[in-house]
Amino acid sequence: MKVLRSVQRMQRLAQAWRRASVPVALVPTMGYLHAGHLSLVKRARVLIGSKGRIVVSIYVNPTQFAPNEDFSKYPRDLSHDTRLCRDAGVDVIFAPSDTEMYAGKRDGSFSTYVVEEKLSAGMEGVSRPTHFRGVTTVVAKLFNIVLPQFAVFGAKDYQQAAVIKRMVCDLNLPLKIIVGPTYRESDGLAMSSRNKYLKGELRAQALALSRSLAKARSLVRSQPKGVSAKLLKSELKAFIEREPQARVDYVEFFEPNTLVPVKSVKRGTHMAVAVFIGKTRLIDNAEM
């Protein structure tokens, strides 16, 4: 397994693979890998077979963090990630520096961003207005550097996956986006690198997210004619905030393909939730 830090070296290798008709799958991550990430690697191997190449990018992208967010504190452990990737059969880790990925930022000449304007407008787009511009830009750059035929994302970031799919479709990028299921701890908490922040009682309180999804699903499936989204949001907010360190950022119900909010929640509607547990912001989602 190779660990490459140079954009030029990664791109040169990707071009060689393309000339040799070697299939490539990319698993974009910000590192601090866990079983959820490794499930995406397994999915990638199924897609490309034993003769293909899997690239895991490990890069904490500064352009998707607002100034008041946790960019500097985001957990990083490349040695740990390298061991996991080697054991999982990854062929290349691409772990560039900020200077490599945004060379023009040093002198202020970097001025090109990729922006999706519809699917990114709600939910995370409201709470983190510059977030998706950073995501789409860095992912587009990774696609141009690694030249994959497949890129594998996790369903925990449901809106992100939808935005990336739209970008690929709208810009005619020659690859397929695959979305793997959300991986959860045994008690239901969605796996996230930020779970490291949950110390002491905060870990137990974080279960309010997955429990709110289960509660909503149960209510919706008991009422086939639908449930008022406004009333259900209010009920779930109160349910989550019974935890002393929980503060709801948003609860949203929407049509799964367009992400358009709905007024009546029925089976097949999608729910997404963002909650601060102490200072840690967590997200989760599920189909009702």
Distance set, CA 159 to CA 132, 137, 207 (Å): 10, 16, 21
Active site residue 270: no
- How many Cβ atoms sit within 10 Å of the Cβ of residue 141? 20
Tokens encoding 286: 């599920």
Tell me 69's DSSP state: S
230: closest CA among 203, 263, 257, 260?
263
Strands 227-228 and 264-265 come out as: antiparallel
Q: How far apart are CA 140 and CA 164, in angstroms?
A: 9
**Catalytic hit among 37, 80, 131, 270:** 37
Whose structure tokens read 């008022």?
A: 228
Q: Which helix (H) or strand (E) holds 45?
A: helix 35-48
Name 284's Cβ contacts closer than 8 Å, sequence gap at least 6: 156, 182, 190, 209, 210, 213, 272, 273
First to last CA, the chain: 41
Rounded-to-integer distance, Cα 238 and Cα 242, Å = 6
| Active site (catalytic) residues | 37
